[in-house]
Amino acid sequence: MLETMTRQHAGASAGPPRNHGAAFDEAYFRSERVNRSAVERRIASLPGRRTVKQQWQAAWLVRAIECLDLTTLAGDDTAGTVERLCAKARQPVRRDIQQALGLAEYPLRVGAVCVYHDMIGPALAALHGSGIPVAAVSAGFPAGLNPFELRVREIEASVAAGASEIDIVISRRLVLRGDWRALYDEVRAFRAACGPAHLKTILATGELGTLGQVYRASMVCMLAGADVIKTSTGKESVNATLPVGLTMVRAIRQYHQRTGQVVGFKPAGGIRSARQALDWLILIKEELGTAWMHPTRFRIGASTLLGDIERQLEHHVTGAYSAGHRHPLA
């Protein structure tokens, strides 16, 4: 039964959508205002509007795993570290738990593995034959302050090395001074440098000041051709928050209504518990609908979240919580 429910949550998406963008037009965002009090009231209402329990909760947590960008972005990353992470990406839940869930034959895997440029090769080798894409952070991650030409060449180098998804970081100063045309041109150039690879634009929302700035930056990045908009690098003092998420997904909804084009969403940074993952899935379900509850349209960027999800799934099948060391490299 759980496998049936899990497949139902897979939706009808045939593959990752591409956003071709549109001409720069300030009319898309200049007149829009974000009411922070209304946003916070909407977020506060989410837990009471929808809950998932028992086997449905287990199915949603399996969906969260499939939407996970399993990430390692540490200064001490080695090929061995990445290889072990990729092994976890290929088998994210212990086989005995997966079998107890009735998913023994279900091809459970994460959405992607996200690494720095120099770890693309080891990740590709470790993931060979799995179908799991490799994502690389780029464009002067995490500050985005490298010379523009170097940022473009970095993207091109990562695509040439085999990354099929590129997570770039925008220049926050362009947002803070309202230079929207320059931001559009920057992201447009990054989109061109990506070629066939999918472009995920990181807004670093904790450094943008207001929800209105988050909305406008989201819209400009989508107009410029971003395939996915992402909250944070995970390196800011404030990372993914639900009010920011609501602001961004409503921008995605409005862009889709205006252009017919699909843009994905990725919260990242500080998402460590299964409960938080469920909150994000509920937000997506409520605001964008079931079609967005799919790894081609929704990702969660995290490095430690998988361990708690695996513990919750073991609790579902055994009735007891296990120690963290029973779920290695999560």
Catalytic residues: 167, 230, 266
| 144 secondary structure, DSSP code | T
Partners of 169 in the beta sheet? 202
Is residue 229 within 8 Å of 263, Cβ to Cβ? Answer: yes
Nearest to 266 by CA among 256, 287, 280, 276: 280
Sheet holding 198-202, edge to edge: 264-266, 228-230, 198-202, 165-169, 134-138, 112-115, 68-71, 300-302
Omega cis (within 30) before 142? yes
Nearest to 270 by CA among 203, 206, 198, 175: 206
Is residue 255 within 8 Å of 292, Cβ to Cβ? Answer: no
CA dihedral 37, 41, 43, 49 (to 10 degrees): -160
Q: Is 144 left (phi over 0), alpha (psi -120 to 50) or beta?
A: left
| 323 secondary structure, DSSP code | P
Cβ neighbours of residue 151 under 8 Å, at least 6 residues apart? Answer: 138, 139, 140, 144, 168, 190
Quickly list H helices, the chain: 2-9, 36-49, 54-66, 79-90, 95-100, 120-127, 148-161, 172-176, 180-194, 211-223, 242-259, 274-287, 305-318
Other CB atoms within a 10 A radius of the CB of residue 250 amount to 18
- The percent helix, strand, coil of the chain (3-state, each to 5) is 50, 10, 40
Nearest to 233 by CA among 76, 116, 121, 67: 116
